[in-house]
Amino acid sequence: MRKTATILLALCLGILSAGAQDQTKKQSSIDLEKEFFQLPDSVTNEYLDATAIPKASRINDYWIVGVHGGVSVEHGFFNPPRQVSFYVNKPVYGFSVTRYATMMNTFPIVGMEFGFQHNYEGYNFKEFKSEGHVYRQTIDGAYEAYMEVPEVFLLTHAHLDMGTFAKILIKAGMYGGYRTNITRIGPYVVEGTEHSFLDTDYRWTYGVQGGLGLGFMVDPFEIHLGVQIKWGWSSFYHPDVASPYYYRFAYPLDGAVTLGLYYQLTPRRGHTRAQLRKMARQMVAEEREAQQQQQQQQK
């Protein structure tokens, strides 16, 4: 019995050993490189080193430069209040450079605009009746005054594309300038001051500026129709000019309607649904073409 058991045990061990060796041979016969990953014969290390991988294009990431012109509308904010009317002044004109970008790589609707503008500031008082008489308020003998203002501005944008060829513009920022070439009109203006500034006048001007616009895009050109509003923080004159105990203020509150022509210095890529679908279709087509070429090379 012992001999029989010993023979059976030896046979079992032999069978298990042969199976293990056969399984090892089968596993060792698998080519891992062919089974999981294999480059085509034409793709060498030198080829990969020389291949330029294209950078992903950002949406709405481009520069434009252009000129604009229009008409300026003057007004004013006075304390104590005065009867002020709006009036249209001579043309306003300027140029600007705008950089559109994607904020935090998420919001492709922002931009920054820097530029120069030749504008105007001033005021025009209305006539009013009191006790049967017609009056018109004046400052330094003038019921109307306007001055030229070369200025610079820095604005931030929010632009919303509407289709492929149009967009809405929303702007807000700061401006600063210097008042020149004043003209005073009125019956009580002191002779010699019709076209000259007084020692009590402020020359530097600054404040906030904002606006709305509509842009039309026919790449590489853009046409912008806009309305801007400026609220000045620099009074026309020293507040204590009449009395050291009672201050008076006169701030500019102006607007302008402009039309601008701009040129895209770099290609524009919009973010409308139609454009995103077009980009997606193009990416899928390129991926399929690359797969077909790879399959042909493997054959």
- Position 275 scores a pLDDT of 61
Q: What number is the average pLDDT over the span 66-91?
A: 89
Whole-angstrom distance, CA of residue 55 vs CA of residue 39: 23
pTM value > 0.85: no
| 207 pLDDT tier (thresholds 50, 70, 90) | very high
- Position 212 scores a pLDDT of 96
Residue with token string 């026919």: 218
CA separation, residue 227 to residues 27, 73, 90, 99, 212 (Å): 77, 11, 16, 20, 5
Domains in the chain (CATH in brackets) are: 38-57+270-299 (no CATH), 62-268 (2.40.160.20)
Q: Give the HSE-up count for residue 155: Cα atoms under 13 Å, Cβ half-sphere.
A: 25
Whole-angstrom distance, CA of residue 134 vs CA of residue 40: 95
Element at 257 (helix H, strand E): strand 249-264
Whole-angstrom distance, CA of residue 149 vs CA of residue 202: 12
Q: Give the HSE-up count for residue 257: Cα atoms under 13 Å, Cβ half-sphere.
A: 5
Q: Is pLDDT larger for residue 18 or for residue 228?
A: 228
The per-residue pLDDT for range 121-178, each reduced to its tens digit, is: 999 988 877 777 777 888 888 989 999 999 999 999 888 888 778 999 999 999 999 9
| 40 pLDDT tier (thresholds 50, 70, 90) | low
Q: For the chain, where are the alpha helices, taking DSSP H only?
A: 2-28, 32-36, 45-50, 273-298
CA separation, residue 124 to residues 60, 77, 184, 279 (Å): 43, 11, 10, 55
Three-state DSSP state, 244 = coil
Over the Cα atoms of the chain, what is R_g? 38
Mean pLDDT, the chain, rounded, equals 81
Instruction: For residue 57, give the nearest of 266, 265, 264 by alpha carbon.
Output: 266
Token pair for residue 175? 């401006």
Whole-angstrom distance, CA of residue 85 vs CA of residue 61: 43
Instruction: For residue 232, give the nearest of 195, 198, 197, 204 by alpha carbon.
Output: 204
Token pair for residue 80? 């104590």
The per-residue pLDDT for range 22-35, each reduced to its tens digit, is: 544 444 444 444 44
Q: What is the DSSP letter of 178?
A: E
The per-residue pLDDT for range 1-10, each reduced to its tens digit, is: 555 555 555 5
The per-residue pLDDT for range 212-268, each reduced to its tens digit, is: 999 999 989 999 999 999 999 999 999 988 788 888 899 999 999 999 999 999 988
